[in-house]
Amino acid sequence: MTKLLKASLALGLALSISFVASAAIHESKVVTTQGSLFHVAPVKGSAANSSEFNPFDVVMINHVRHSSTSAFDMTFTCDPDNGTEMTVWIQNNGSSSVKMKVIHVSTNLDYGYETVAAGDQLTEHFHMENGKGIYGKFRVYVTTDDGSTTDINVYARQY
């Protein structure tokens, strides 16, 4: 009985956190739209800490650590059955700025570069307004302007 109660409480908490996160995204400034896909204004600094996610999220990039002079370049495919929200989080552990961009490869929509200062972090949010779920292939690309070594953590999820 105790295990069932704990499981029920955990599920209730997880769902309430998911609803709060969803509400926060809807209240944010929308930067770009394509059809029903909304790109919400990026969140920077300590408020951008989206490295911890709900256990029911579908993980697209699982806490990848990249330390190299070459760019980080990864693609993944979203399934509309996995949810209407997608978040890409980056943490810059390096000593110089990096720039990240997300591209919706399926529609060739490039959301442009966002700069992440040394020691800072950034979260990009995407929301499918029509409720059918985010779909298609996405690309996350991180590089530097000066060819210096990047030292980053990257995490992406759909929910």
Burial state string for 41-74 with b = 16 or more CB within 10 A and e = fewer than 16: ebbeeeebebeebeeebbebbeeeebeeeeebee
pLDDT score for 17: 37
**Kind and range of the H or E element at 20?**
helix 2-27
The SS3 of residue 41 is: strand
pLDDT score for 50: 55
Four-point Cα dihedral 129, 21, 44, 82, nearest 10: -60
Instruction: Encode pLDDT of 97-145 as tens digits.
Output: 999 999 999 999 999 999 999 999 999 999 888 778 999 999 999 999 8
Any long-range contacts for 4-12 (C-beta under 8 Å, 24+ apart)? none
pTM of structure: 0.73
Q: Are 101 and 141 in contact (CB under 8 A)?
A: yes
Pick the CATH number of 2-158 from 1.20.120.140, 2.60.120.380, 1.10.1660.10, 3.40.50.300: 2.60.120.380
Instruction: Encode pLDDT of 63-95 as tens digits.
Output: 899 999 999 999 999 999 999 999 999 999 999
Sheet bearing 72-78, strands edge to edge: 72-78, 136-143, 98-104, 109-116
CA-nearest of 133, 136, 131 to 105 is 136
Structure tokens of 156?
Answer: 């992406």
pLDDT mean across residues, the chain: 78
pLDDT score for 42: 66
